[in-house]
Amino acid sequence: MSDEPSGAPAGGAGRPLPSDRELSRMSRGELAELAAELEDVTVVSRTPKPPEKRSERAVLAWLVLSALSAVAFVVVYVVWPHDYVAPSAGDHTIRLFYTPLIGLFAGTSVLSLGIGAGLYVKRFVPDEIAVQRRHDGPSDDLTRRTATAQIAGAAADTGLGRRPLVRWAALGALGLTGVIGGVLTVGFFVRNPWKGRPSALRRTLWAPSDGETVYLRHRTTVSGEVRRVRPEDLQPGSMITVYPYRLSDGTDPERLHEVDITADVPVMLFRLQPGADVRKKRGQENFNHGDYYAFSAICTHLGCATPQYDPLDNISMCPCHQSEFLITEWARPVFGPADRALPQLPIGIDGEGFLIATGDFIEPVGPSFWELRSS
């Protein structure tokens, strides 16, 4: 733009355009007024709002609540225990509050910030009705410069400059609410928050404890009856479901029932046909006892029980969504939605001829979870 006035009418107002020098001497208010003219804006009415201490305190309270909620969210997200423990464990209950709490604090933070901002606009920003006539094409340089002043004027109209406490509370609440998004983004990349810590998801009642032998047990219809499994209990090409048993469990029906209803303990014990063509998984070469193979009976898709066996094809099928597992190849899935093999239980035989577990599963039983690799 030159130093000379253009003489051209400004917008719809009809007055000549100011020169650069005149522009630089104009106050922000005058520039904002000029911007309105250039943009063919007519202010129909403008009602300033009187300062009100009570409203200011209400806005402050919402902003502070938002900031505190954001801080509480971060603290709960990082330090609240949230790994899985069995419902029977004493500290199970506290973990139930993890998800509700992070939802509550994140929601409160965003909601309070919104209410605080809305309340501020309602109580402090002047009511203005303006009409702008539409025109096509981009704005010229003069219009862009004056529009900047107009925006600054609008910011000044909010009165935040005169209310430092509210301003800082708004900035704090906005920043801390933004931290929630940051924490959630970073947390997304922490693949396994329990790495290196024992997890109930990786331990079952088949795990030997205190050097006590864990037997494979039939489940019978007679209350309190204990029948440990011997190899001759199964015909070639058959399968039974077995449960863990320790001599310390005794014959107490309550205790036996407690074991039987534990979700991750049912195991399918297979006796394959002699000479079956078996392929073993690396690291599990000695998990079988002769033709006897034991696999978790809990489907790795969504956790249904899979106690069905087709001895002709050596397939175990889950009735829920028809996943099929090939028993002669470490029970890997060959059909259906399951994408992980049934975990194999290592078994052997004791001096009395009973089948026993020689260790716990080396992979978690049941449906996959997000930090678990498929295999």
Residues that bind ligand FES (CB under 6 A): 299, 301-302, 304, 318, 320-321, 323, 336-338
Distant-in-sequence, close-in-space partners of 12: CB < 8 Å, separation ≥ 6? 37, 40, 133
Cβ atoms of 244 and 215 closer than 8 Å: yes
Q: Taking the complex as a whole, how short is the minimal distance between the CB of residue 302 and ligand FES, in angstroms?
A: 4
Cα–Cα distance between 243 and 238 in angstroms, integer?
Answer: 17
Is the CB of 110 or the CB of 338 nearer to ligand FES? 338
Give 10 or 342: the residue with its C-beta nearer to ligand FES: 342
Select 125 or 320, whichever has its Cβ closest to ligand FES. 320
Tokens linked to 140 = 């010229």
* Min dist. Cβ of residue 59 to ligand FES (A): 53
The residue count of the chain comes to 375
Q: Give burial (CB, 10 Å; 0-12/13-18/19+) of 275.
A: exposed
CA-wise closest residue to 357 among 225, 168, 229: 229
Cβ distance to ligand FES smaller for residue 64 or 320: 320
Q: Which amino acid is at 82?
A: H
Query: Could you tell me the smallest distance in angstroms from the CB atom of residue 341 to ligand FES?
Result: 13
Tokens found for residue 69: 């909620």
C-beta of 213 vs 308, nearer to ligand FES:
308
Residue 218 DSSP SS3: strand
Q: Which of 115/320 has CB closer to ligand FES?
A: 320
Q: What burial letters (b/e) apply to 234-269, b meaning 16+ CB within 10 Å?
A: beebebbebbbbbeebeeeeeebeebeeeebbbbbb
Give the residue from 309, 277, 295 showing the smallest Cα distance to 361. 295
Q: Which is nearer to ligand FES, 18 or 266 (CB)?
A: 266
